[in-house]
Every structure is written in structure tokens, then in C-alpha cells.
A = this chain, B = another copy of it.
Amino acid sequence: MTQRTAKPIPQKPDARDDADERAFLAAYDAAEFPHPSVTVDVAPITTADGALHALLVRRTEHPAKGRWALAGGFVGMKESLDDAAERVLATKAGLSGIFLEQLYTFGDVNRDPRTRVISVAYYALVDHARLRRAQPEKGEVVVARIDVPWEGEAGGRVLALDADGCELPLAFDHADVLGLVVKRLRGKLDYAPIGFQLLPRRFTLRQLQEVHEAVLGRDVNKDSFRRSVLARGLVAATGEMEKDVPYRPAELYRYVNPDRARES
């Protein structure tokens, strides 16, 4: 809310509030004090091979040149935070129309060596095939495996590994940001429909279970998982079967929003 930290604005008398307020706003000078820079950083997340993965962007400029970072950008004066996150996700990561949610705002004084930068972090959830096809307007990207060195929802920073298992150096405090993404996803997974966002529209229950195991970092009981998913009514059978598998094909399901009807 609103209050001015430093020298107070010259006081005006109290009456005629509307005209008074208009006059106040006309005289208001937003540039009176220095303001911090505000950015959004977006972590596009998927699951594969039993682990979480995140798309990272190689920094081509200082600071942290050459290191890997989340897709980020400054917030425009006339765009909301959500709009800025969508724009950054589209331009820096080449992804649009996918699930996007605010995570946390990082505002330590020295987190960016340039100047005071406050960063509103978002995470985006997308299925693995789509993330692999992601093509930004320019720049080098990588889909890094997230290595979580803690259990459950303890929290803490995580590591980003390339295909050979080598650690990718992360820029700024992005190892903390990604750690908080993991913690948040683990906390929300069993009561919010976020597992479906990491899969294509049609999926088998086994795939959904593998997504949960990748997010949680532990095995889940197969039968209990199936029962609880089906009992919650969040998925509907399509009658179709998966193809080209060397064993008994499983039925394909789709996510149904219990509130409103949805496309198939």
C-alpha cells in the first residue's frame, strides 16, 4: 500500500475530496525517488525419465555471461506481471498458451550485481514433447535435469544437470528459485490439478503416476494412486488405447475440470 517513505508530500486541506484527489494525482511525480528494477523470471518445467526438467537460457551478456538462467525480462510500465511472464515465456523460451503461475518474489539487495533488481518468479508447466520443440526467437536453450539433494518438502537449492550428468552453472539466485519451484510443486501436487499440465491431453494412468513420482522424487503405490485418481473424478476414460507398445496397451484418459465442461 501506499505511503511515502521519505519527505511527506505537501498537505492539502481535506474538503472536496474528488477534485482534491484529481489535483493530487496530477501533481504526483513518480520519479521523485529512485525505484528498483522489476523483472519476471519464468521456469518452464516438465518431467522426463523420472525427474523434473527445466528449460534454461544461456546468458549472452553480462552479468553472469555464459551461465544458465531462467527466462527473464523487465516488466513494462504498462503490462501486468502475468502479461510480462507470458511475454517472456513466449519470446525467451518460445512457449505460449501453457499453464503459468506466480511462485514468489525475490528481493534481496545484492542478488543482481548490476543494480537493485526485484524479480517476480513464475513457473510454467508443459508436457515434455512440447518443451523439447520449444524454439525461442533467439538464443541458446537447454532442457536441464533438476537434481534435488533434499527429500520431501524440506526445501533448498537444487542442481541443473546436462545430458551427461554434468552440472550446469546457474546465474544469480536461480538455483534457489528452482528449488522453491520443486518445493511448491511437491506441496500442491496432491490437491491441485497440476500433474495434468505436464502431460499431453490424452495420457495413461501410468504416465500420470510417473509424473507424480518425478515431482515427488519417490515411488507412489500404484493401486492406491489409481483408486484415488479415479475416485476424485478428475479424469475421464476416453475409450481409446495407447498404440505401439510391446505389452498390453493401457486406456487413455483425459483431464476433466469438475466445475465446467471441457473439450475432449
**How many copies altogether?**
2
Tell me, yes or no, whether A107 is within 8 Å of chain B by CB.
Answer: yes
- Give the contact stretch, choosing among A3-11, A206-214, A217-225: A3-11
Q: Which residues of chain B have C-beta atoms less than 8 A from A105's C-beta?
A: 81, 102, 105, 120
Q: Which residues of chain B have C-beta atoms less than 8 A from A72's C-beta?
A: 1-3
Interface majority SS on A: helix, strand, loop or mixed?
loop
Q: Which residues of chain B have C-beta atoms less than 8 A from A17's C-beta?
A: 65-66
On whether the beta carbons of A41 and B1 are closer than 8 Å, the reply is yes
Q: Report the interface size for chain A: residues with CB under 8 A from the other chain.
A: 89
A1-30 contacts to B (CB < 8 Å): 1-9, 14, 17, 20-21, 24-25, 28, 30
On whether the beta carbons of A81 and B107 are closer than 8 Å, the reply is yes
On whether the beta carbons of B9 and A162 are closer than 8 Å, the reply is no
Binary contact track A49-76/B, C-beta < 8 Å → 1, others 0: 1000100001111111110011111111
Docked CA distance A202–B150 (Å): 33
